[in-house]
Amino acid sequence: MHKLMAMALAMLVGTVLLTAAQDQEPWEVPEEERAVENPIAADDDVLAEGQRLYERNCRMCHGETGLGDGPATARIKPAPPDMSTAEAHDRMTDGEIFYKITVGKRPMREFESRLSEDERWSVVHYVRTLRAG
Ligand code: HEC
Domains of the chain: 32-128 (1.10.760.10)
Question: What spacing in Å lies between the alpha carbon of 108 and ligand 1's midpoint?
Answer: 5
Q: State if residue 108 touches ligand 1 by the CB under 6 angstroms criterion.
A: yes
Ligand 1, atom 37, lies closest to the CA of 58
Q: Which of 61, 111, 112, 125 to mutate to test the pocket of ligand 1 (most atoms within 8 A of CB)?
A: 61
Q: Whose CA is closest to 109, among 51, 61, 47?
A: 61
Decide if 125 contacts 49 (C-beta within 8 A): no
DSSP code of residue 24:
T
Q: State if residue 60 touches ligand 1 by the CB under 6 angstroms criterion.
A: yes
The pLDDT value recorded for residue 2 is: 72
Query: What are the pLDDT tens digits along the chain (133 aa)?
Result: 677 777 776 766 655 555 554 456 889 999 999 999 999 999 999 999 999 999 999 999 999 999 999 999 999 999 999 999 999 999 999 999 999 999 999 999 999 999 999 999 999 999 999 999 7
Q: State if residue 68 touches ligand 1 by the CB under 6 angstroms criterion.
A: no
Ligand 1, atom 13, lies closest to the CA of 80
Decide if 50 contacts 124 (C-beta within 8 A): yes
Q: Please tell me the distance from the alpha carbon of residue 20 to that of residue 6, in angstroms, as a whole number.
A: 21
The pLDDT value recorded for residue 3 is: 75
Question: What spacing in Å lies between the alpha carbon of 61 and ligand 1's midpoint?
Answer: 8
The pLDDT value recorded for residue 25 is: 81
